[in-house]
């Protein structure tokens, strides 16, 4: 799954730790989501979407491999 988390965070000049604190998760979790190593749960994806004021599909997008799997 692809996501625009790093871009959205950079637009607000937040560090990973800033974002992690706002979301109530660890900095490693934010880093793992940004680098595509971890896909967040649906509740966390909703929290991220709400924090940035955007719909989930504007932040997260499925890869071709996710669709065919």
Partner 1 sequence: MPRERSTPQERRLRLKFALQMTAVLAIYIPVLLGSIELIEANPDAWWRFAVALLPLTLFIAGALTVLRYVLQEDELEQRISLMALSIAFASTAIFTFAYGLLQIAGAPDASWTLVWPVMGVSWLIGGIVARRRYR
Residue 30 or 59: which CB sits closer to partner 1?
A: 30
Residue 49 sits in the site that holds partner 1 (CB under 8 A): no
Contacts of 61 (CB under 8 A, 6+ apart): 1, 2, 3
Binding to partner 1 (CB under 8 A) within 15-34 occurs at 15-17, 20-21, 24-29, 31-32
Q: How far apart are CA 24 and CA 42, in angstroms?
A: 15
At 45, list the tokens: 């994806």
- Positions touching partner 1 (CB under 8 A) are 15-17, 20-21, 24-29, 31-32, 37-38, 40-41, 44
């Amino acid at each position: 799954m692809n996501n625009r988390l790093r871009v959205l965070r950079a637009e607000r000049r937040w560090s990973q730790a800033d974002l992690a604190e706002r979301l109530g998760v660890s900095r490693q979790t934010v880093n793992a989501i940004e680098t595509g190593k971890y896909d967040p749960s649906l509740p966390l994806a909703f929290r991220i979407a709400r924090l940035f004021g955007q719909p989930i599909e504007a932040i997260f997008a499925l890869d071709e491999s996710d669709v065919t799997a």
